[in-house]
Structure 1
Amino acid sequence: MNLEEVKHFLNDNKENADVKAYLEELSAVSADKVKGFLETDEGQKLIRPKLDQHFTKSLETWKANNLDELVNAKVKELYPEETEEQKRIRKLEQELEKQQKEAKREKLMNTAISYASEKGLPTDIVAYFLGDDEETTKSNLSTLEEKYHAAVQQAVENKFKENGRTVEPGGGGSGQGGNLDIGSLAAEASIRK
């Protein structure tokens, strides 16, 4: 009997109970058949997404349950807790550093105020121009001096222009060329009133 005859016989007798039982036995899934299928490329394509999904879920569960503990243990290993003595030392060091910064700032402020006084600058705004060191502070105050004196000069010139006088650079005040006497100043003052 050849294969075609067997197929024809099975097809003709598919309603027979013995043939049904035999066909079910042939088509039944066994562990060996499944294992053989899963080792093929087609089987790998079928099972790989399921395995990845299961692994991802397992990893997330593990992270939720164990990762924080492991991280905390490693942090404690790398950075052990301070003893009371170490805490006191750290606090003292911080206080000392703070006092040094305050002393440095106070010294810098005193230097800046005396520098501003020498240059005729307002001393109440000196704190805004303090730098990290004396050199930077003096540079900041020099810039302030330039801008401040330029603004004062501009304000004086504008005031004189409002009153009808022109200001000559380095001039003596009334435009007379230098020699002023009290009489000419009094005459000028009476004209303005």
Structure 2
Amino acid sequence: MAIENFNEITEYFTTNKDSEDVKNFMNGLINVDKVKNFLETNEEGKQYLQTYGDKRVTKGVETFKTNTLPKLIEEEIAKRNPSNKDPREIKLEQALAEIDKIKAESLKKDLANKALKVATEKKLPSDILNYFIGSDEETTMNNLTALEKSLETYTQSVKDDFLKSGTHIPPKGDNLPTTEEQAQAEINKCFGL
């Protein structure tokens, strides 16, 4: 019997579904379960599946080697050997270092100006201020406060010693140090300068 169109085929299978020939034909059609069963149980299917898997993995490894591995190698070399940096990176690092240096110098000048202002207000000697300038404003102000307290304590102890001695004998001679020179000598002695 010749089949001329698809409707005739469908009608034939529907009307003859109980026929042994139709049942055998329908059971022989390929579906997903049959393909899985073939690949898992049949030796030829297993070999095909292994070959296919190997090809896909090999292709994936080659793609990784081509696209990703060179970048990873370059990054690791750059981490371990910083001398192989791009000239732009080197210039950028130098520029950033210069900016940091300028900021540090500016901060030091600002701190020196603030320290001088505070020292003038508190009547502290300005020629030793550089030794008390810290890395930030808070540290600098704490250092100046400590200097002020030290000088007050020292001044008070000198006054107390003078008052305890009871009498003052003026020094003899023409080359006598001035009060300012004596104070500076005492400060230098106190701070080990």
Q: Report if TM-score (shorter chain) is over 0.5.
A: no
Provide TM-score, normalisation by structure 2: 0.43
Provide TM-score, normalisation by structure 1: 0.43
